[in-house]
Amino acid sequence: MSITSLSFILFVAVVIVAFQLSTSLTYRQWVLATANASFIASQVDTVQAVVPLLVFLGLGYTAVHGVRRSPAWGLVVCLVLSIGIFIVLKRFAFLNGAFALPFSYLSMGLSYVLFRLIHLLVDAHTGELPSAPKPLSYFNYTCNFLCFVSGPIQRYQDFERQDIPPVPLDEPLVFAAFSRVVSGFVKVVVLSAALNYAFAQLSAPVLSTEVLPGVSFAAKFSASAVLYTLYLYLNFSGYMDIVMGVGGLLGQTLPENFREPFAARNFLEFWGRWHITLSEWFKTYLFNPLLKALASRFRSAAVMPWLGVVAFFITFLVMGLWHGTTAVFVVYGLLLGFGAAANKLWQLSLTRRLGKVGYRALAERPVYRQLCRGATFAYFALALTCLWVDLAQLGKLLQALGPFGLAGSFALIMLASALVMAVWSSASTALSQGAAGLLRPVGSTAGFIGRNLVLAAQVLLILVASSFFHKAPEFVYRAF
């Protein structure tokens, strides 16, 4: 059941109606549990296919309860076993088929179940969870159908807090939720579909090496990288808009996952704006403990900044490896790690040379700021190539581009995106002011008509695009 399918829309409508029939907390928990189970069941053809997930969940639930009273080594054992089982179930390529189960099963959603499970294990052990979750709450948290495929990653404490009191629906809440759902569909069904079509047309000759290496090849590769990056953003953020809008109608306030990522001035800031909950999870459960462990080992104040560089590299390397199970994602992880480490080294170098005040003054200069934004976008776009090629194709691309072609592609994307973002920043400010004037309720009737006209136009655009593209592109992060 795809989130852009008619069956999902009908499914969500039934769940919302059933959820709102009663304000009883227990009733609503069971409605959500039924919805979560039904969504998972829609992804498989046999009962056997869901058994590994159920076993993983059962072992995790047992571990969360047991780790509350265990020493530190008990937590380590539970974490190692959880990650080990996950690696086996996800069939990572380096295993070469070892430990593989002799039947097909559901592996979608395991990554986000693992994130939530590790969060529960660590917080239960440290005492941040006042009490271990009950079976129904545990299932609803780990298998929330809105977040099952690709997040956002919500803390259990925030998830549990939303159960009390039940949130009543009113006109502003319903309109805001519905508007966000429609906006998400526009991103996925219209914009990302158009970009995906253009990307497929442009990248096909690049991957088949029909274009001879040279300026034309580098330009086509650069355009393909940009199109894929924009497609991924609209596809992913559109999905988030849909599930957050639906969540608002089910009493759930899900954490934001995007905050204008292409406005980021550097690579580290970018990951505080892109897939925010993933970045926060890695910061909490990998970067901070790793930096603390390194600091306890190397106590000199002079080396502390360099320990941060090491911790950033390892954290982003692991984050990249998480995205896929094949060898090309090792390259992606190395690129993310190098980008984060290089960003930190650049900041340390400029701060040492210019001082903190001088560095801040440089960072605020318009030309420098825009070039940094362009460089951040260019690096990320080129790194994302690992998501649309395999290792052999990546090798052929690098061979065809050569060092000068790769550098030229980076420079072309950086300068073009810096210029576009500068123009967009100015234009969006003017457009937002105009839209605010149109939609601001000078009178209640005018405001009502304006908002609904915009909404109706979006719905019409979705219907037209659906008939043109026939099928919305698959949700990208579903594969991760």
Confidence at residue 471, expressed as pLDDT on a 0 to 100 scale: 67
Q: Give Cα 480 distance to the centre of its chain.
A: 10
The DSSP result for 58-125, as a single string, is HHHHHHHHHGGGS-HHHHHHHHHHHHHHHHHHTT-GGGTTTT--SS----TTHHHHHHHHHHHHHHHH
Confidence at residue 442, expressed as pLDDT on a 0 to 100 scale: 46
pLDDT in tens, 85-134: 999 999 888 888 788 888 899 988 899 999 999 999 999 999 888 788 89
Q: Are 60 and 129 members of one domain?
A: yes
Instruction: Decide: residue 70, CB within 10 A, 0-12 exposed, 13-18 middle, 19+ buried.
Output: middle
User: In the beta sheet, which residues pair with residue 274?
Assistant: 258
Confidence at residue 82, expressed as pLDDT on a 0 to 100 scale: 94
What is the span of the domain harbouring residue 421? 173-460
479: in domain: no
Mean pLDDT (the chain) is: 88
Q: Are 120 and 198 members of one domain?
A: no
Yes or no: say if 413 and 382 are a contact pair by the CB < 8 Å rule.
Answer: yes
Residue with tokens 């190539």: 385
pLDDT in tens, 394-445: 999 998 888 999 999 999 999 999 999 888 877 776 666 655 555 555 455 6
Confidence at residue 99, expressed as pLDDT on a 0 to 100 scale: 85
198: in domain: yes
Kindly indicate the confidence band of residue 478, based on its pLDDT and cuts at 50, 70 and 90: low
User: In the beta sheet, which residues pair with residue 258?
Assistant: 274
Q: Are 60 and 127 members of one domain?
A: yes
Confidence at residue 247, expressed as pLDDT on a 0 to 100 scale: 92
336: in domain: yes
Q: Tell whether omega for the bond before 165 is within 30 degrees of 0, i.e. cis.
A: yes
Q: What gap in Å lies between CA 281 and CA 271, rounded to an integer?
A: 12
- For the chain, give the percent of residues with pLDDT over 90: 59
Q: What gap in Å lies between CA 119 and CA 71, rounded to an integer?
A: 17
Q: Are 142 and 257 members of one domain?
A: no
pLDDT in tens, 303-328: 888 899 999 999 999 999 988 888 99
Q: Are 447 and 310 members of one domain?
A: yes
Q: Are 106 and 252 members of one domain?
A: no
Tell me what the mean pLDDT of segment 176-184 comes to.
91
Q: Are 151 and 195 members of one domain?
A: no
Confidence at residue 462, expressed as pLDDT on a 0 to 100 scale: 78
User: In the chain, how many domains are there?
Assistant: 2
364: in domain: yes
Q: What gap in Å lies between CA 222 and CA 217, rounded to an integer?
A: 9
Angle at the Cα of 129 from the Cα atoms of 124 and 135, rounded to 5 degrees: 80
470: in domain: no
**Inter-axis angle of helices 328-363 and 391-439, nearest 10:** 40
DSSP character at residue 257: -
Please identify, among 112, 142, 166, the residue that sits at the C-terminal boundary of a domain.
Answer: 166
Residue 227: pLDDT above 90? yes
Q: Are 126 and 240 members of one domain?
A: no
- Own/partner pairs, 211-214, CB within 8 angstroms, 24+ separation: 213/400, 213/401, 213/402, 213/405, 214/405
Residue 382: pLDDT above 50? yes
Q: Tell whether omega for the bond before 255 is within 30 degrees of 0, i.e. cis.
A: no
Residue with tokens 């995205």: 323
Q: Are 195 and 152 members of one domain?
A: no
Residue with tokens 């060092």: 403
Q: Are 197 and 123 members of one domain?
A: no
Residue 176: pLDDT above 70? yes
Q: How many CA atoms lie within 13 A of 284 on its CB side?
A: 16
Confidence at residue 437, expressed as pLDDT on a 0 to 100 scale: 54
Yes or no: say if 25 and 33 are a contact pair by the CB < 8 Å rule.
Answer: no
Torsion-angle region of 166 (φ positive above 0: left; ψ -120 to 50: alpha; else: beta): beta
Confidence at residue 217, expressed as pLDDT on a 0 to 100 scale: 87
Q: Are 177 and 162 members of one domain?
A: no
Tell me what the mean pLDDT of segment 359-377 comes to.
93
Q: What gap in Å lies between CA 265 and CA 140, rounded to an integer?
A: 38
